[in-house]
Amino acid sequence: MAQRLCFLAAVGMLLMTATEAVADEPGPDEVQTSAISSESMSRRMLPRYGGHSRVGFDDISIPSPVDLPYREIVDPARYVPGSLSVGTTSDGYLIGSAHLPDESRYHYVLEGHRERDTHYGTEEIVELLLHAGEYTRERHSGSRIAVGNMASMEGGDIRWSHSHNNGRDADVAFFLRDEDGRPVTREGLVEIRSTGVARRDRDVYFDVERNWTFIEGLLSHPETDVQWVFVYRPLKRMLLEHAREIGADPEIIEIASRVLHQPGDSSPHDDHFHIRVYCSLQDRLEGCSNWGPEWDHADLFEDEVEVRVRELIRGLMDPQPAVASGCIEFLKRLAPRSNAMMLTTALPHQTPSVQIELMDLIGRLDQRGTAGPAIALAESAPDDDVRRKAFWLLGRLADPGTAEGLVGIMRRDRTPLADGTPARQAAAVALRNIIAPEIIPALIEVLDDPRPEVRAAVAHVLERNAVRPSLHDAGAELTDEAHAELLDDWNRWFVVEGDWPRYEWIELAFEAAGYEVGSVSENPSERGFINALEDERDYIRFNADRQLMHATGHWTPSEGWSIDRRSTWWQRKLGIRRDRSRR
């Protein structure tokens, strides 16, 4: 194996040396251009860093990556050819990146960007840029695309962008023209107004014809699918109108209408195109994540990933903990949400360390319906760390389907955790983000516990579910009389209002708190709930957030956000400002 790797590295260095030598020879149309051929991706010689050049390795027998058994998948010595894009575009990295040279017949890197050393990416995006550049040059003689930032050699953050982390992004400057239609070149990125005129140079215009040809070249590539081309909305409109006028391929126009997009969470992209491609098959199998829309024109390799995921899940039952642990780490990269339920099958059968790792993975996937097997571990696992992780998982997923099991743990109140935390308290804490009105009688019942810390945890769940406060601070040291009043208040409320629909509890509680929320069941007021997000009472804030989630279909985490962040997020998401006079 070591001899083979040395051989591959040696051949790779020879190929890179050959590429650099050819790149030093002047081309027929420009001086000092790279000798990157106009042939298909399998024939291009892409310089490689941290890996090898793909050219010259056609005779190496590599098994299909889809059919590998799990022990080979997790083998650290496994050979993976080509570049690898791992993670997301905003939180990922690159292995064995391909490098885009400073110049070729079809492109050049903007002068101000060359010293940044950000012209690495996957083989697919490098090939795509060269393909689109060649496509454009063939139709507009002498034209070359001007490339800005791509990614650093090993991926990760770059100071000029919030994405570009895993080698699937590239910035390309707009083609420009003068008033008579002649090509204009500017060093750097040029901002364009909605009229198509440069913001700081009124003699320069957005060249719709060449820019559309470039977009057409991107979208016509036979192998690499584009997810986004971020661009200023008025320029998108110009490009699509031009495409229709010249009778461009309707299928390409349809794809362009989807992928051309002005993002809402960054600059309008009025000075360059920001291109993002989908993960290749190999990248997807190794943990590349396509966050965002899944357009019909793209092959996302779901069937192939499903094969790998199921094989890794099979590996969770391996008798060697190190192998099972390796399968879990690999599954974290693949984030198999649709298979989350299958992951739980190994929970009762593994060592404590593997059980903890597996529960961490299940929690990351955030799929309800997967926490059931954790009930037994939370109550009676021999290992205390496993019990703690099981309670964490049950609270993390906040699945109403586990409410009955957690109530059972509360009622039985068996072995406390190693630090003395009562099982009843741990179960109540796990219930804190679950809305399940049917458990209210049991909560009132265990509220009779004499321990203040247990009462506080139970009252927290009770107040959120019933949308009303306790008569006394349940976590305080109560006199016998106050304790009796606390229980009597909850019991009397439940006798009177316990069978009401929960939306009526919400309407009454929010009206009493001074918030106009309308008819919760028919026409809720989003503004009323937004106004309540910063209320001093936890049960009001919690239910305001949950009602906004229910009404809009948008998601927010149950915990981890400050009050201000949650309020700001909802205001921006819905375009509704909070009424500050209510503070």
Three-state helix/strand/coil letters over 215-272: HHHHHCCCCCCEEEEECCHHHHHHHHHHHHHCCCCHHHHHHHHHHEECCCCCCCCCCE
Q: Residue 439: beta bridge partners?
A: none
Closest CA to 67 of 288, 279, 308, 286: 308
469-485: string of b/e by CB count within 10 Å (b at 16+)? bbebebbeebeeeebee
Label residue 63 exposed, middle or buried (CB < 10 Å: 0-12, 13-18, 19+). exposed
Whether the Cβ atoms of residue 569 and residue 556 lie closer than 8 Å to each other: yes
Q: What angle do CA 489, 454, 479 make, to 5 degrees?
A: 50
Distance CA 173, CA 188 (A): 8
Q: Annotate 208-236 with b (16+ C-beta within 10 A) or e (fewer).
A: bebbbbbbbbbbebeebbbbbbbbbebbb
Class of domain 67-286: alpha beta
**Ordered alpha helix ranges (H), 344-383:** 352-365, 374-380
- DSSP code of 486? H
Distance CA 288, CA 334 (A): 7
The confidence score (pLDDT) of residue 580 equals 65
HSE, side-chain direction, 13 A CA sphere, residue 180: 1
Nearest CA to 137 out of 129, 125, 127 is that of 129
Sequence letter at residue 265: D
What pLDDT is stored for residue 581 in this prediction? 56
Predicted local confidence at residue 152, as pLDDT: 93
pLDDT tens, per residue, the chain with 583 residues: 343 334 333 333 333 333 333 333 333 333 333 333 333 333 344 444 443 333 333 444 555 778 899 999 999 998 888 899 999 999 999 999 999 999 999 999 999 899 999 999 999 999 999 999 999 999 999 999 999 999 999 998 888 888 899 999 999 999 999 999 999 998 889 999 999 999 988 899 999 999 999 999 999 999 999 999 999 999 999 999 999 999 999 999 999 999 999 987 678 999 999 999 999 999 999 999 998 899 999 999 999 999 999 999 999 999 999 999 999 999 999 999 989 999 998 999 999 999 999 999 999 998 988 998 999 999 999 999 999 999 999 999 999 999 999 999 999 999 999 999 999 999 999 999 999 999 999 999 999 999 999 999 999 999 999 999 999 999 999 999 999 999 999 999 999 999 999 999 999 999 999 999 999 999 999 999 999 999 999 999 999 999 999 999 998 998 999 999 999 999 999 999 887 655 4
* 3-state SS class at 407: helix
**Run of H or E including 109:** strand 107-109
Residue 68 half-sphere exposure, CB side, CA atoms within 13 Å? 22
Q: Which of 364, 411, 422 is nearest to 392 (CA)?
A: 364
Q: State the burial class of residue 420 (Cβ atoms within 10 Å of its Cβ: 0-12, 13-18, 19+).
A: exposed
How far from 575 is each of 225, 340, 535, 553, CA to CA, in Å?
Answer: 33, 34, 20, 15
pLDDT at 40: 34
Q: What is the pLDDT of residue 80?
A: 87
Q: What is the pLDDT of residue 35?
A: 30
Domain ranges of the chain: 67-286, 507-583
